Amino acid sequence: MTEPIYDVVVVGAGIIGLSTAMALLDRYPKARLVVLEKDATSATQQSGHNSGVIHSGIYYKPGSFKSKFCVEGRRTMAAFCEDNGIPTWRCGKLIVANSEAEIARLEALHERGLANQVEGLERVGPDRINEIEPHVRAREALWAPNTGIVDFRKVAAAFADKVRLAGGEIRFHCALLRAIDRSSHTVLETTSGAIETRHVINCAGLHSDRVALTMGTDPGLQIIPFRGEYFTLKKEREHLVKGLIYPVPDPTFPFLGVHLTQTMKGWVEAGPNAVLATQREGYSRWNFSPRDFSETLAYPGFWKMLARDWRTGLWEINRSLRKSVFLASLQALVPELTAQDLAGAGSGVRAQAVDRAGNLLDDFRIEQAGRSIHVLNAPSPGATSSLVIGQHVAELAASQFSL
């Protein structure tokens, strides 16, 4: 029997697994740490398929992990990018309202943003809206000047460099398959052999519930994948969007509604919607995994969610299938947009945890069980918050593990 080699194995080289590895190595420079990633490189899943928005923290319930981690996360992310030469643009976000109901929700959102101590928030009327975004037509809006954009793939790549510089390893093409608990350590069977470790940190995103089960922990939830589809704006129409234009979100869902975003990739994106995916990594509507979808169908929480939210689900499917419906959502923000302005683009899949009662978990969920820590729900603003989530996991590890 060989000695346990690693102090910590982190499962998943997404932005959160890498920030966690970085924070742990910062705290424990001598720790033997390896990040296992099933794909060929880092940030191939959620961390590389998102809107690239550095959120300011307006939306989240005061006192929640999301509110604390996002407000602090925005600052630390901006500072990290500046220190490491990663381009960002603080272009600001306009959240627009037209109907009485939207204006009432905008008011509530403003109060929430103030409670979360989001800096620089401003309620604006048509004249100021026209100055900020000349092509938006709205009665009122909330202006968040500190919201910005970045390419989170670049951030994840910088995190990976820092992990390696600090002495950590990253193994690609290495999927965790099974875990066998021994008295003092755990044997992880992977696609590239067995690895022994004293502690495991599960940052497996779309597969985090499965990895928890593999480790012998019942997560009490299941990941239900929601695909977010995007269009891009034709080059000659990009001038219609100066920064970030968002609707007032439906407060009963954790998704923000389709929006218009400048990106650091050099184009303007429209989206994402939120459609139930039949495969966890199902980036196209044609992707179908019998295993993934049968697991969704076998989960009682899915049926409870469906019983409550089936109208919204059908509406999202309709919007996904019919460009005209998608366009109508965008025209509520910028009326000049036409179907010819939109070209099909990529998508991302959100790892949304749903509990057994059918509730979509609103807050981040991070739990410790024995020698493991599981990041079980880290959807948006997870990328913005990644440095703070990594610190939080490292603190939890410091208090619970013997490192």
Ligand X SMILES: Cc1cc2nc3c(=O)[nH]c(=O)nc-3n(C[C@H](O)[C@H](O)[C@H](O)COP(=O)(O)OP(=O)(O)OC[C@H]3O[C@@H](n4cnc5c(N)ncnc54)[C@H](O)[C@@H]3O)c2cc1C
d(Cα 107, Cα 113) in Å, to the nearest integer? Answer: 10
DSSP 238: G
Of 140 and 144, nearer to ligand X (C-beta) is 144
Nearest Cα neighbor of 119 from 149, 53, 74, 154 is 74
Nearer to ligand X, 38 or 154 (CB): 38
Nearest CA-CA partner of 326 in 311, 306, 343, 308: 343
Whole-number Å distance between alpha carbons of 340 and 104: 33
- Tokens standing for 212? 């928890």
Between 166 and 345, CB nearer to ligand X = 345
Q: Report 179-238 residues binding ligand X (CB under 6 A).
A: 203-207, 211, 228
Among 155, 349, 353, 373, binds ligand X (CB under 6 A): 349
Q: Among residues 47, 76, 197, 296, which is the contact residue for ligand X, using CB under 6 A?
A: 47
Nearer CB in complex with ligand X: 254/301: 254
Whose structure tokens read 């519930």? Answer: 209
Question: Which residue stretch of 41-49, 88-96, 115-123, 135-143 sits at the interface with ligand X (rule: CB under 6 A)?
Answer: 41-49
CB of 341 to ligand X, least distance (A): 21
- Nearest residue (CB) to ligand X, 74 versus 140: 74
State the minimum distance, in angstroms, from the CB of residue 139 to ligand X.
26
| Residues 362-401 interacting with ligand X (rule: CB under 6 A) | 375, 378-384
The minimum distance between CB 143 and ligand X, in angstroms, equals 18
Binds ligand X (CB under 6 A): choice among 8, 10, 11, 170: 11
Closest approach of ligand X to the CB of residue 214, in Å: 8
Residue ranges in 267-286 that form contacts with ligand X under rule CB under 6 A: 272
Burial code (b: 16+ CB inside 10 Å, e: under 16) for 105-135 equals bbeebbebbeebebeebeebeeeebeebbeb
Q: Check: CB of residue 265 under 8 Å from CB of residue 52.
A: yes
Q: How far is the CB of 27 from ligand X (least distance, A)?
A: 19
Sign of CA dihedral 330, 336, 342, 345: negative
Query: Out of 9, 15, 94, 224, which residue is the one contacting ligand X (CB under 6 A)?
Result: 15
Pick 19 or 242: Cβ nearer ligand X: 19
If binding is defined by CB under 6 A, does position 92 make contact with ligand X? no
Beta bridge partners of 53: 149
What 8-state DSSP symbol labels residue 242?
S
Instruction: Tell me the closest approach of the beta carbon of residue 228 to ligand X, in angstroms.
Output: 3
Exposed, middle or buried: residue 340 (CB in 10 Å: 0-12, 13-18, 19+)? exposed
Angle at 52 between CA 67 and CA 378, to 5 degrees: 45
Q: Which helix (H) or strand (E) holds 331?
A: helix 323-331
Query: Cβ 87 to ligand X, closest distance in Å?
Result: 16
Cis-peptide, bond into residue 272, ω within 30° of zero: yes
Count of residues touching ligand X (by CB under 6 A): 43
Binding site for ligand X (CB under 6 A): 11-17, 36-39, 43-47, 49-53, 55, 175-176, 203-207, 211, 228, 272, 348-350, 375, 378-384
